[in-house]
Structure 1
């Protein structure tokens, strides 16, 4: 019974919900990046390389063998480096996108934490710490003056 109560508290407090939201947004973000790479970036690259489709690029180590009826008796063995290139491009785009989002969030956070910036509302804890720091500096100046 205690286990179920603890699980209910865990799920209701938001930990599980935050994780679920992150996973759902991550999956949707993955779909966006997949479309961005396959439908936006790869076609111009294919055009620049004279119709070369990167997914089809491979180094064949052993050709497939077929019998008289056309059935494959021995599978082809190949290194598909085109898929690796496309996956690497996906990774670079995801990394760059995440970097830009984090950079923008950090910029907004630093503006929000600056108590002298009146454009963005400063959180109360930062504002109180700033006032405390100002009072301590004022007190130190008075003590040095004596």
Structure 2
């Protein structure tokens, strides 16, 4: 799978850095979850129903991984949000194996929705950073 390069986020990163750390994290998580929602919905729509229907039902957006996934994942950012299924069969279904042909569901969702998701992240971060800064300013004015 090809990587996606995102440019022009330096100003957003600087603005997030000006917020208190926990506020910045909350803002980032909120925006990333909102942007990931449509990708998760599209992936679930693309997923084959299968005999149990677990794959479709397991799609979601969140900040937590299973214990096994956590061991395999190297954290790359202070804030990480994950989009996709939480079903062990998902990888086999997505990529296939010697007994099962690939039935991609998340890759097509990403390919179709990545531009909108990235745009939602950029615009959403600006909006949420401005709202958070205004809240902090109001709070500081009250505390004087």
Tell me the TM-score normalized by structure 1.
Answer: 0.29
Task: Compare CA radii of gyration and give the structure with the larger one.
Answer: 1
Greater relative contact order (Cα < 8 A, sep 6+)? 2
Question: Which structure has greater helix proportion?
Answer: 1
